[in-house]
């Protein structure tokens, strides 16, 4: 499934309770529809003071539901009909008052009614309820709000956020509703099977940079996108993820612990002390094989001779091989970014590094791109993962890893 169809076939009830963050719900509706969802908007009376039902109807393409007494419903049971049709209920914004209602099981309007009336789905679990808190920082920090949040989470709701930053009141702190794209991704993640629940996954991503002098260095064209996609997919699958990233400009996937490094030696020093604490190690980083034996502390200038200065080189530590040698090592997955003879080089790496799985790809064909083609190589043979966007491939790789470690 491509990134543009991640919610294909899903029907989402988007609930709006009162708050200035209702303006973000307009963009959220668009984002959900862009990735394939159908969206039914339900608004409380308070929400209608901040954004109109006309706006939300225009964006969702469906009449907005606002009252439990809606005469359009033949059985006069909008709360039942809406909840039975839904694959998920996402309340964004979820005000402090609305969260209190859900925590206490009160249902005095259509939105709280349908949240309470959510049916059991396949597997005996209720229709998912996701809440995106939006409120002033003091309201967020109040003990009553925190008690209510703990209760709704204990009752099975998934709380998305809040964010930290400027607030409409002019204050700064926790309580901002997450942005539309973040909520979209949170909803997408909620539908992913938790194949790595409770597992700890360590991932390296991006290039390394080996300094020659204060302004020059040796690096490569890796964007880090594949590694970051694997980190997101593993987190979606329920894993506790640590991402050791080389010098890239990519946002950190939510709930992923990130460690930024620059050189191969720094990446090695970040990975080795913690590798044994993890169940899986995925080495997607394109680590430089060589580095200058010593970097000049001043810029190396041209001298007019037309000759390039001789730079002594030394080999960088082999991070994957070092992790694979650890006692009680994690399940190790290597990446081979090659320019030719992909299968042969990937298999040689599998044997040389003594790891159970190597994922091969042609570096020049994928560096910086949003799609990729992967070749899985192990002792039994080879299997290609057809060209797709990197997040879809990352999810498929996570499923493969979960199967192999017997999760």
Cα 180 to Cα 23, 39, 90, 203, 380, distances in angstroms: 10, 14, 12, 27, 44
Taken in order 216, 219, 224, 230, the sign of the CA dihedral is: negative
Residues, the chain: 407
Q: Decide: 231 and 203 in contact? Cβ < 8 Å.
A: yes
- Lookup: tokens for 168: 């409409």
Catalytic residue among 22, 115, 127, 169: 169
- Lookup: tokens for 256: 């992923």
DSSP class per residue in 310-343: P--EEEPP-HHHHHHTSTTPPEEEEEEEESS-HH
**Rounded (5°) CA angle 276-277-283:** 65
Listed in sequence order, the DSSP H helices in 194-341 are 225-236, 264-275, 319-324
Q: State the helix-helix crossing angle for 180-190 and 22-34, rounded to 10 degrees.
A: 50
- 169: annotated active-site residue: yes
Cα 69 to Cα 66, 77, 344, distances in angstroms: 9, 8, 68
Instruction: Assign 66 to helix, strand or coil.
Output: coil
DSSP class per residue in 29-51: HHHHHHTT-EEEEEE-TTGGGTS
**Rounded (5°) CA angle 232-238-241:** 55
User: From edge to edge, which strands make up the β-sheet containing 38-43?
Assistant: 38-43, 11-16, 88-94, 129-133, 158-159
Known catalytic residues? 169
């Amino acid at each position: 499934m491509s990134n543009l169809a991640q919610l294909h076939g899903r029907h989402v009830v988007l609930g709006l309770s009162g708050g200035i963050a209702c303006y973000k719900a307009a963009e959220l509706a668009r984002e959900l529809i862009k990735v394939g969802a159908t969206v039914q908007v339900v608004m409380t009376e308070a929400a209608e003071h901040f954004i109109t039902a006309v706006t939300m109807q225009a964006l969702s393409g469906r009449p907005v539901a606002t009252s439990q007494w809606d005469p359009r419903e033949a059985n006069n049971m909008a709360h039942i009909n809406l909840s039975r049709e839904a694959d998920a209920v996402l309340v964004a914004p979820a005000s402090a008052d609305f969260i209190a209602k859900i925590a206490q099981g009160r249902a005095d309007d259509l939105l709280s009614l349908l949240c309470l009336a959510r049916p059991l789905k396949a597997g005996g679990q209720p229709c998912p309820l996701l809440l995106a808190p939006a409120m002033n920082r003091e309201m967020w920090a109040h003990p009553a709000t925190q008690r209510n949040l703990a209760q709704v989470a204990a009752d099975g709701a998934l709380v998305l956020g809040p964010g930290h930053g400027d607030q409409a009141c002019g204050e700064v702190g926790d309580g901002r509703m997450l942005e539309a794209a973040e909520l979209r991704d949170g909803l997408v993640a909620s539908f992913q099977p938790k194949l790595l629940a409770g597992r700890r996954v360590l991932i390296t991503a991006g290039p390394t940079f080996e300094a020659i002098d204060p302004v020059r260095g040796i690096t490569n064209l890796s964007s880090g996108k594949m590694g970051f996609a694997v980190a997101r997919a593993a987190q979606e699958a329920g894993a506790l993820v640590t991402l050791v990233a080389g010098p890239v400009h990519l946002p950190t996937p939510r709930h992923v612990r990130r460690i930024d490094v620059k050189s191969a030696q720094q990446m090695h020093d970040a990975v080795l002390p913690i590798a044994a604490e993890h169940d899986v190690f995925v080495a997607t980083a394109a680590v430089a094989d060589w580095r200058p034996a010593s970097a000049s502390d001043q810029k190396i200038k041209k001298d007019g001779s037309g000759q390039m200065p001789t730079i002594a080189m030394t080999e960088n530590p082999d991070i994957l091989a070092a992790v694979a040698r650890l006692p009680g090592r994690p399940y190790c997955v290597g990446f081979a970014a090659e320019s030719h003879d992909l299968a042969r080089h990937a298999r040689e790496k599998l044997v040389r590094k003594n790891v159970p799985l190597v994922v091969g790809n042609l570096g020049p064909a994928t560096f910086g791109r949003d799609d990729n083609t992967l070749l899985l190589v192990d002792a039994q043979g080879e299997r290609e993962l057809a060209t797709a966007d990197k997040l879809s491939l990352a999810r498929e790789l996570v499923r493969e890893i979960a199967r192999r470690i017997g999760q």
